[in-house]
Each structure stands twice: as C-alpha cells, then as structure tokens.
Structure 1
C-alpha cells in the first residue's frame, strides 16, 4: 500500500516521499482514512509508530480541500489546533507540518513557554492555519486576547496520557470551552487509563477506535537486558558498557533533574561527551543538546522522563535506564525510543537492590521476564539491604500498587514548577500556571 492510495493529494505524497517514506505504517493506514472521513478518532499509539504523520497528513488534506468558511475581524482564525505536553514535542510536530505541507498554501506556527511571547504575538497577527501549542502558553495568549480559537475546525490532543500525567487536565478543559462545538476531535494516547477514557467520553462523538499495538507491549525489535549492580557502582558500570561496546547515541534515563545533571557531568569528566536535558534547562540549552545528539556529535544524552517526551530520532540504537522508573508504564515509554520503524535497538537497565520490586512490576506489566546479567568486576553485594526510593514520580517506595503503578490507579498531577516546567510528585491539581512554561 502506498500513501497515494489513502486519499492524499499528489502534493502531499510528494512531500512525504522526499522525506524518505514510501509505505505507510499501520497507524497511518488506519488513521489517515479515518481523519479524512471527518469523524472523531481515538487512537492508541506508542512513540515511534508514525502517529504524527497519521494526523498531520490528513489535516493538511482536509484544510486544503475546504477553504475557511469566514474571515472574522481582528486576528486571523486558527483552523486546526494541535496540543502537545512538551516544548520538544510541539517543535517536532510543527516541523512535520512544515515538511509535509511544503507544497500546500497552509501556514503553521509553534507556541510554547520558556521563550518570549512577543514574537509569537507578531506571528499570530498573520494567517496561521495550523497551531501547535502547549496548553499553558496557549492560555497565556487567550488571556491577552492575541489568539482566536473560535473557528477551530480540527482539534488534536497528542500524547494525551502524558498531558494528564503532567497536570494539564484543567488547562485542557479551559481550552475546550473556548472552541466551537462543531469540530473534529482526534485523541492520541500511548495508554488508555481510566482518566483517558473519561476524557474521551466527554470529548469524542462516536469515534473510530484504532489501537495498533497491544497495550503496554514492548517492540519485538528491542533487545532488553538487565545488569544487576550495586547503586554506588552504576555510574562506573555505565561508563564501562559505553566504552567497552563503543556505544554512540546513548539515551540515558534518570528519575530526577539533579541526577541527570550529576551523571552527565561525571560522564563528561570521564571522557564520555554527555549533556543533560530536563525542565530546568533553558530552551536554548535543550535545543542545543538535542541537535548535537541527533547529529551524532554528542555521545550520551541524559534525560528525565518528561524532558525526553518528544525526542524523535530514527534508528536510535541504545536506551539505558540508569534508574528504573517508579511507574512501570514509563518503562515501556522509555524503551520505545529505540527499535522504531523496524530498526533494531537495545534497551539496558542498571538495577540495584532498591529496584528489585520495581523490576518485578515491570516484568508483570510486559508479561515477560527480562534476562539478567552480572558484569565481572561489578558484582552486586548479596548482603546489601534495599533503601527507600524517595525521588521520582511514584507516590511511595517501590512505586506502589501492582506492577509499579500508583495505588488505586490514579495518576497524580505533576508538581507546579514555574518556569522550570520540571517534575514533581504533588497529588493536588496544579495551579493553572503549571503548564505555562512548558
């Protein structure tokens, strides 16, 4: 099957072909016709499935086929709104809009916090057909009356599970109240939690349902392995593995921003080029680190879960869990960064005695036991006692609940972090400004 058989115009197919794609992925085969039909869509798709093109391509087609119905006074109307949880993902999605729409007469822009608002206001004074935004900064513009959402024809909630996880539900509901009732709604989520189902029930009208991968499944193309090691020897073991196997483009996950900073500094001092990326980093620093990592000049990128959302690197060979996530589902998200589009990848987890319960929860979730290995010279102390895991997203040591999930299955909102856009573990709904600087 080719893209041209899905109902896309020659101009769009040409742009897709120039990006090096000739055959649609499973999510694209199902999502593109569904979106072109004009109906609502609920899609379960993990990272690396090609979901972005699955909604961008048909949106470009639909907006081109039907000119805007009216031209109100003041700011030109935005016709399609794509909401994403992080700056990186917003930038990535808008880049896709520009690449795939290069032969269309549609215009687009990206909008997120952490940068000046005035250049965004200037762009909004011109025609913007497709707006990609994070919720908090979009509401900043709404408050200043610099954006018109009353003519939105298509709404996309991308990575809706992560938006809820980051505490954006109140912002999302405020935005929904500003949109016209007659519109097409597309909701994409890696998981279908109770919160996602509740949001979908209130948002979608008789949606088409697409689920391209078994829930919480890990890709068959990802080789997974666990190295058992003492907590104090993790950094040395990581450096040993990188050097011994000559790994390049290694994405390493830590639980905290402080841990990411410390690990990247230690690796760099040891002769392994590394940078950290997390919410407290400036937008320019995050963009620089990502660019260096993507082009291969940076050997190691150390990231927190939220900052890594939106990292899209084809054929990323190595993902390392320096620390296991407190929430088992996040393991699936993390290792989904490698083994994409049929390419092989390797996911390695460094596990100390503190994390044995988390590891069992992950194995229950993915319904398989992960192979364990001990590297000579890094043998763990069999008499070591586990210590409570205080940091990270879990609500108690061991992650709580079954499979490392939170008690009761509820996903707490992230703690507001002001301009940092960072992580936290507060169960209270955040103040509205919590998302502004994402």
Structure 2
C-alpha cells in the first residue's frame, strides 16, 4: 500500500519492478493467438484517460522487449480491443467495467496472474467502482492474495481504502511520502475571495498573466465546463473542455490539444483531476472549489509535478464555501503557504465546519496487519468541514 502526493512517480514505482520481474523470467513466452488470454499483470484504473496514460508508460518502459501491453476501456470498439488482446498480453491495463465484461465473456482469465495493481484506488471508491473491483478480485480464476502480489496506490488514505487494503493485502507494507492528505509544497497556492458574479473577470485576469502557459481550470458541473470554455474562447484565448458528456474521441482530442499547446487552457470537471500526467501545467485554477479536501489536493497536484514548481489559484465564495475555511487554512499551513487574514476571519466568524482534522502523519514505511489499522490513521476522509467526495455522474467504465 503506497500513498504519495500526485506527481511523485507512483506509476513508475509499480511499473518498473513489474517489468523487471517479468523480463527476468526465463519461462516468459509469447502468448499470441490464444482464445483466452492469461495476463501476468493486471493494472486497474478508475478512468479511461488514466488507463491510456499507464499503458503509454508501460510501452515506453518496455520498448523493444518481448512484453506486450494491452489497453482495455469502455466507450470504444469491443471488437478492436478483443483483436488486440488475441495477439498476446503480458500486461493488461483496464478500467473495471470493460475488464469485468471480458472476464465474464471468457476472454480473460487470471489463472497466471502474478501482479494485481489498483491505481488511484481512492478514486475507484469515490466513483462507485468498488462492486466491480470486488467482483474481479473474487473471480474463481483469481489467485489467492497470498499467491499474487497486490499493490494499491493512492494519493489519500481514507477509512474506506484502509478497509479495502485489509481485505486485499497480506503481510503488507505501508509506504507514505510526506504528510497524507497534504498539498504539494512545490505548488504556490493562493485563495481569492470572489463572488460567483465576479469569478469570470478574475479568471480572465489570471489567464492574461499566464501568456501561453498551460492552465487547467476546474469546475463542478459539466454544463459550466462548456459554458466557461466558450466564454474564454470568445475573449481570444484558445480553450477546450473535458467532461463526461463528451464522446471518448472528443475527450482524447481535447487532451491532445492541451498537451500540444494548441489550446493552452482546458476547463475540466473532476474526472480529469486524477492520474493524468500532463507535462508543463503551470497553473491550476479552482473556479469552483470542490466538495472534499482530498479532491482539492488532487487538483492542486496537476501542477508542480516531479519537482517542478507550479501555481494553484482558488476562488472562495463566502456564501457557497463558508464551511471550507478551516480545512483550507490547515492545508495552506501544512504546505508552508501564506494564509490570508480574511480567510482566518472567515474561519473564526463564518462557521468553518469544525476542526481541520482528517490528515495523517509524516512519511516513511512500516509493516502492518489488520489489527494495527484503525480509524485514527491519516487521511481520514475529508475532516474539518468538507463532505465526503461525490463523483459526478459520468460513465468512465
């Protein structure tokens, strides 16, 4: 079980050892043209975009080797993916819904599985995929947890993840980097007190200062994403958007335009906030603050990755966000950021929704068993005025 800030290299941390182990096996063969594929490593992702990124990294790391990586996710041709699968598969990267479908159709078996990876495990639970995960882990062909290596990776460590880890892992080691639930200290955070009416003007002011640098703007609603992207584009700044109502091809094109810099601004719902590794994102803007402290941390983590510096600006509306004052102060303080005096007054006089708890201790590694896990552990699920995260109703399986 590994917990670390976004952008700290979790994908490489599990992919490189898996590749090394498989390539060191003298019995490794080419499993092509088999009716049922039996991958030796399965990596589960909560979103298609993250699955695509993981598969890209796997192919990059395993370049010019015998290893075959296959990518399976919903929203695209089943026939094409089955054709790719039939050509051989050592490593299968998949979303839970599509993999469940292939397993039920008898196209994939876990009988030779050596590694099971749950990436962004907390996001899987947030988005309601726990039943699919349990179905896959409980499949008759799945090796017992003592006969496979199970790796869970997450940026946060809420109670639900602790419970899942107790069930899926055996003789576990817990690795944590930094303070669980804390924002990346390489990101300069700024909170602006802005009314809903003034948000657009403040956003244009910020974008005007960024020039051609890549900026990710996060909103809570899908309709807001399209409306805001159109508004920014009308002001002469090339902008695209990504959310669950866009077709898969449209989402991939939007991300490609953003990566290339064709559209230096992307407006996104929370679905784009997790796992995507987009280089050179200089600035993240929370046009709408999220409902949970974990989601705030993940959004901020889209910039300042792999030791680079970044900026994160958030719009705080006293009427809508009063309960977030104290948790935001805690996050800013833990990452050595300046706390505005007005925000302290909001927390003091404007409610602030209880203490700013729910965060774990410092980094390090330790062994644990089920008896040593308790609700007092770090990342306890959005304390201090944040509600539990609510996933937008989007089809990402």
TM bin (shorter chain): 0.7 to 0.9
Q: Is residue 110 of structure 2 the alignment partner of residue 149 of structure 1?
A: yes
- Unaligned 5+ residue runs, structure 1? 1-41, 375-384, 387-399, 422-436
Q: Aligned equivalents of 1:115 and 1:404: distance in 2?
A: 40
Q: Is residue 78 of structure 2 the alignment partner of residue 78 of structure 1?
A: no
The match for 1:132 is: 93
The match for 2:22 is: 63
Q: 2:239 aligns with which of 249, 269, 274?
A: 274
Q: Is residue 79 of structure 2 the alignment partner of residue 118 of structure 1?
A: yes
Measured on the aligned residues, the alpha-carbon RMSD in Å equals: 2.4
The match for 1:248 is: 213
Q: Aligned equivalents of 1:401 and 1:318: distance in 2?
A: 24
Q: Relative to structure 2, which stretch is displaced further, 217-226 or 67-76?
A: 67-76
**Alignment check: 8 A CA contact 1:161 1:189 kept:** yes
Q: Give the Å deviation of 1:207.
A: 1.5
Q: Aligned equivalents of 2:153 and 2:109: distance in 1?
A: 24
- Per-residue CA distance 1:167-189 (angstroms, 9 max, x = gap): 11110000001211121111111
Partner of 1:404, secondary structure, is coil
Q: 1:196 aligns with which of 130, 147, 161?
A: 161
Q: Give the Å deviation of 1:326.
A: 1.0
Q: 2:327 aligns with which of 355, 361, 383?
A: 361
Q: 1:405 aligns with which of 374, 382, 386?
A: 386
The match for 1:346 is: 311
Identify if the C-alpha distance between structure 1 residues 176 and 268 changes in structure 2 by more than 3 Å, giving closer, same or farther.
Answer: same
Identify if the C-alpha distance between structure 1 residues 367 and 403 changes in structure 2 by more than 3 Å, giving closer, same or farther.
Answer: farther
The match for 2:274 is: 309
Identify if the C-alpha distance between structure 1 residues 91 and 343 changes in structure 2 by more than 3 Å, giving closer, same or farther.
Answer: same
Alignment of 1:208-219 (within 5 A): 208-219=173-184
Identify if the C-alpha distance between structure 1 residues 311 and 70 changes in structure 2 by more than 3 Å, giving closer, same or farther.
Answer: closer
The match for 2:143 is: 180
Q: Give the Å deviation of 1:109.
A: 1.0
- Unaligned 5+ residue runs, structure 2? 343-349, 352-380
TM-score by length of 2: 0.83
Q: Give the Å deviation of 1:64.
A: 1.2
**Alignment check: 8 A CA contact 1:365 1:403 kept:** no
- Per-residue CA distance 1:75-112 (angstroms, 9 max, x = gap): 23111000010001000000000000003210001111
Q: Is residue 102 of structure 2 the alignment partner of residue 102 of structure 1?
A: no
What count of residue pairs does the alignment treat as equivalent? 352
Q: Is residue 13 of structure 2 the alignment partner of residue 47 of structure 1?
A: no
**Alignment check: 8 A CA contact 1:153 1:183 kept:** yes
Q: Aligned equivalents of 1:102 and 1:228: distance in 2?
A: 49
The match for 1:7 is: none
Q: Give the Å deviation of 1:371.
A: 4.0
Q: Give the Å deviation of 1:221.
A: 1.4
- Per-residue CA distance 1:209-236 (angstroms, 9 max, x = gap): 2111211122221111112122111011
Identify if the C-alpha distance between structure 1 residues 75 and 346 changes in structure 2 by more than 3 Å, giving closer, same or farther.
Answer: same
**Alignment check: 8 A CA contact 2:5 2:155 kept:** yes
Q: Relative to structure 2, which stretch is displaced further, 201-210 or 79-88?
A: 201-210
Q: Aligned equivalents of 1:233 and 1:205: distance in 2?
A: 52
Q: Which has the higher contact order (CA 8 A, sep 6+)?
A: 2
Identify if the C-alpha distance between structure 1 residues 152 and 318 changes in structure 2 by more than 3 Å, giving closer, same or farther.
Answer: same
Q: Is residue 288 of structure 2 the alignment partner of residue 285 of structure 1?
A: no
Q: Is residue 253 of structure 2 the alignment partner of residue 296 of structure 1?
A: no
Q: Aligned equivalents of 1:405 and 1:226: distance in 2?
A: 16
Identify if the C-alpha distance between structure 1 residues 191 and 366 changes in structure 2 by more than 3 Å, giving closer, same or farther.
Answer: farther
Partner of 1:250, secondary structure, is strand
Q: Aligned equivalents of 2:37 and 2:289: distance in 1?
A: 47
TM-score by length of 1: 0.75
- Per-residue CA distance 1:368-395 (angstroms, 9 max, x = gap): 5754499xxxxxxxxxx99xxxxxxxxx
**Alignment check: 8 A CA contact 2:216 2:283 kept:** yes
- Per-residue CA distance 1:54-73 (angstroms, 9 max, x = gap): 11111011111123599797
Q: Is residue 217 of structure 2 the alignment partner of residue 258 of structure 1?
A: no
Q: Give the Å deviation of 1:248.
A: 2.2
Partner of 1:403, secondary structure, is coil
Identify if the C-alpha distance between structure 1 residues 125 and 87 changes in structure 2 by more than 3 Å, giving closer, same or farther.
Answer: same
